[in-house]
Amino acid sequence: MIPASFDYVEADSVDGAIAALTEHGDEAKLMAGGHSLLPLMKFRLANPAVVVDIGRLSGLDQITDGGDHISIGALATHQTVETSALLRTEAPLMAHVAGQVGDPSVRHRGTLGGSLAHGDPASDLPAAFLAMGGSVIAKGPNGEREIGSTDLFTGFLETALADDEMMTEIRVPKAAGAGWSFQKFNRRAQDWAIVGVAAVNNGSARVSLINMGPSPMLSEAVQNALAGGASAEDAAAVASDGTSPPTDLNGDAEYRSHLARVLTARALAEAGV
Ligand code: FAD
């Protein structure tokens, strides 16, 4: 499949990228690794008139200690996140999940910022980010703002980022010593998840679900059950409550609901809940 024609702009700075977004409005799309945007364009599901390439901007792939959190540049690739010693110690779920995305070629091109900005409910890293909690930094023509993890995902492939904003940084709280688990159910290694569950147990539990609704989501049903004193087993039994899983060739909604309950039980056990 060949995408519709578009103009190509290579940004030479963050400000240059934002200026291009401001000039072209919703006609423009940022491209980082291109591993989600280009497939959409080839299927003609996205038809930006202008593609603003931020993939070669330097300095936005650093992973640093921010005190109470780890700061990850939006252009850090999945491979960089996977192999970061800092993340493996302080936020091991993020590093582990990055290593479960696609295959090595995808992990060397795709970026954390791109995965979060894409907002795909079938993606792995938004689930890890939601389970960790934290925030992203968005920069636009009027400066920077911080968007909390629970406010970022607003609908199917939609986020709270404005058309003229670029995500520059992801902040995840330090969670060394916390229990965690990532359960990705797929038919073949390197496939997308049919259903997935990420859990972090850091005093209280955060549990997120992959492919169980129109956007990346926390399971409020499970979290509320645990907060109310339910056992892990009883909490897992409500994992499909409040969800609207899709039906497709990999499974119907009922099958996905069953998977969500089974995988949540495994995740809670592994996270030590
Ligand atoms: P791009 O494709 O460049 O951009 C995606 C979207 O985000 C676009 O709308 C773009 O405008 C926007 N964007 C990008 N960067 C920014 C930014 N800094 N600020 C604001 N907006 C931005 N993902 C999984 O989770 N699990 C998998 O198993 C998996 N398997 C895959 C297998 C294949 C064969 C492929 C091609 C992809 C797969 N992916 C998978 C998706 C992959 O992880 C993508 O790399 C990732 O989702 C998007 O990152 P990107 O840098 O390529 O973003």
Which candidate, 117, 127, 112, 217, places its Cα nearest to that of 181? 127
Closest CA relative to residue 128, chosen from 145, 146, 153: 153
Element (H, E) at 199: strand 195-202
Q: How much is the pLDDT for 107?
A: 98
pLDDT of residue 189: 86
Q: Is 34 in the pocket of ligand 1 (CB under 6 A)?
A: yes
Superfamily of structural domain 179-271? CO dehydrogenase flavoprotein, C-terminal domain (3.30.390.50)
pLDDT for position 175: 96
Residue 92, CB half-sphere, CA atoms under 13 Å: how many? 13
| Most ligand 1 atoms within 8 A of CB, residue of 118, 136, 194 to mutate | 118
- pLDDT per residue as tens digits for the range 245-271: 999 999 999 999 999 999 999 999 999
CA of 116 to the centre of ligand 1 (A): 8
* DSSP conformational letter for 111: B
**Each residue of 30-55: b (16+ CB within 10 Å) or e?**
bbbbbbbbeebbeeeebebebbbbbb
Q: What is the pLDDT of residue 116?
A: 98
Phi, psi of 128, deg, nearest 5: -65, -45
pLDDT of residue 190: 86
Domain boundaries along the sequence of the chain: 7-53, 63-173, 179-271
φ/ψ of residue 234, rounded to 5: -70, -35
Phi (first) and psi of residue 164, to 5 degrees: -105, 20
CATH topology of domain 7-53: 3.30.43
pTM of the model: 0.97
Q: How many angstroms separate the CA atoms of 171 and 148, rounded?
A: 9
Q: Is domain 63-173 given the CATH code 1.20.1730.10 in the classification?
A: no
- pLDDT at 74 (0 to 100): 98
CB of 181 closer than 8 Å to CB of 266: yes
Query: Which residue is listed with tokens 């968005």?
Result: 138
Is-contact 191 209, C-beta < 8 A? Answer: no
Contacts of 23 (CB under 8 A, 6+ apart): none
Atom 47, ligand 1: residue with shortest CA distance: 115
Each residue's pLDDT, cut to its tens digit, for the chain (273 residues) gives 789 999 999 999 999 999 999 999 999 999 999 999 999 999 999 999 999 999 999 999 999 999 999 999 999 999 999 999 999 999 999 999 999 999 999 999 999 999 999 999 999 999 999 999 999 999 999 999 999 999 999 999 999 999 999 999 999 999 999 999 999 999 998 899 999 999 999 999 999 999 999 999 999 999 999 999 999 999 999 999 999 999 999 999 999 999 999 999 999 999 999
Residue 138, pLDDT score: 98
Give the pLDDT confidence of 223-245 residue by residue, as tens digits. Answer: 999 999 999 999 999 999 999 99
